[in-house]
Amino acid sequence: MNKTRIILGGALIGALTGLIAATLLARRAEKGERETAITTGEGLKLGVLVIGLLRAIASLNDD
């Protein structure tokens, strides 16, 4: 049961984070009047940051 609560909590946090990120990107696209709000280079940078974040989370209990 505890594992299920952790997974559901993580899913909720991920969904909320994604919603906020999409809102910010939509605002940026409207402000710049561009069709896409993110370039390939920016997407690559974000991907590397997300992988780093996931690695940090995975190593939280490592001594």
CA dihedral 39, 16, 47, 5 (to 10 degrees): -170
pLDDT 10s per residue in the chain (63 long)? 799 999 999 999 999 999 998 898 888 888 877 777 788 898 899 999 999 999 999 999 886
Angle at 28 between CA 27 and CA 31, to 5 degrees: 85
- Cα separation, 15 vs 27, whole angstroms: 18
pTM: 0.69
